[in-house]
């Protein structure tokens, strides 16, 4: 049997739904607002989630500062904070002290994060940020495309973890040639990371179909999955959505790798 892979559940889009009605959430804390992301996180934990991930965006389009603080005070597993590498976000993370942070690129016009961070062009800056988090006992992950140049940069930055962007693979899933190319690219990247002692996580576009192949990527430690789980939760509830994803991860780990 292959090594177990952890499941981090990203709950951002539960607050996308909330903000559709309660855009002034920070000023309406005394009234009932739903869905409550803490309740979503607790239900995900009870169903077997190994961690909770949230992305506090600079424009606060979904997750709010208060959500992160409440989650830090409430959840029993691990809190992973996705964030831009900016002074504001670094100071916030150092104050809240999540278990880990994942540094991601951020563009205001994108719906969700559409590619990896260009760590190679920001080595000195990201090395300083990573050192601050390490000194505070916070694990730093870099959200990177599966490219050797970015893996080399992560090593220079002394980042202990890379979360590889799986969006290109997910988008190519129904194109056999492109899918095979992107899958091999991910496999080469996780092998290269392992060779220099960097832990590999993965996320973006992973769903209940492609998970069967994603688990064949070597050296994976954790998958961060949000949109697909929350879409299934609309029909079956968050608990069943998390349990089903965990079942599919386990099933993939007990079958022989695909040729």
Q: List 143's β-bridge partners, or say none.
A: 163
> How far apart (Å, rounded) are the C-alpha atoms in residues 132 and 155?
16
Of 101, 105, 95, the C-alpha closest to 201 is 101
Three-state SS string across 137-204, please? CCEEEEEECCCHHHHHHHHHHCCCEEEEECHHHHHCCCCHHHHHHHHHHHHHHHHHHHHCCCEEEEEC
**Catalytic pick among 13, 62, 204, 222:** 204
**Catalytic pick among 82, 106, 163, 222:** 82
Q: Is 82 a catalytic residue?
A: yes
Q: Are 106 and 118 in contact (CB under 8 A)?
A: no
Q: Is 55 a catalytic residue?
A: yes
**Catalytic pick among 13, 55, 62, 165:** 55
DSSP state for residue 19 in the 8-state scheme: H
Of 215, 219, 149, the C-alpha closest to 191 is 219
Residues with a known catalytic role? 55, 82, 204
């Amino acid at each position: 049997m292959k090594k177990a892979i952890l499941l981090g559940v990203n709950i951002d889009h539960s607050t996308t739904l909330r903000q559709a009605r309660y855009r002034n959430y920070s000023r309406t804390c005394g009234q009932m607002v739903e869905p409550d992301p803490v309740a979503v996180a607790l239900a995900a934990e009870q169903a077997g989630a190994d961690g909770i991930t949230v992305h506090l965006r600079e424009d606060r389009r979904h997750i709010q500062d208060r959500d992160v603080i409440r989650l830090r005070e409430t959840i029993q597993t691990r809190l992973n904070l996705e964030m831009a590498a900016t002074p504001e976000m670094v100071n916030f993370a150092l104050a809240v002290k999540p278990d880990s942070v994942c540094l991601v690129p951020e563009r205001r016009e994108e719906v969700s994060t559409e590619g990896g961070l260009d760590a190679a062009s920001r080595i000195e800056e990201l090395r300083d940020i990573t050192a601050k988090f390490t000194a505070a006992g916070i694990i730093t992950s870099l959200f990177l495309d599966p490219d050797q140049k970015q893996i080399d940069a992560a090593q220079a930055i002394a980042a202990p973890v890379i979360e590889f962007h799986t969006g290109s693979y997910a988008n190519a899933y129904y194109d056999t040639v492109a899918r095979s190319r992107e899958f091999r690219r991910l496999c080469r990247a996780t092998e290269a990371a392992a060779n220099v002692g960097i832990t590999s996580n993965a996320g973006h576009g992973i769903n209940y179909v492609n998970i069967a192949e994603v688990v064949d990527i070597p050296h994976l430690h954790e998958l961060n999955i949000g949109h697909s789980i929350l879409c299934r939760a609309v029909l079956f509830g968050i608990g069943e959505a998390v349990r089903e994803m965990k079942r599919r991860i386990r099933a993939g780990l007990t079958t022989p790798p695909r040729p």
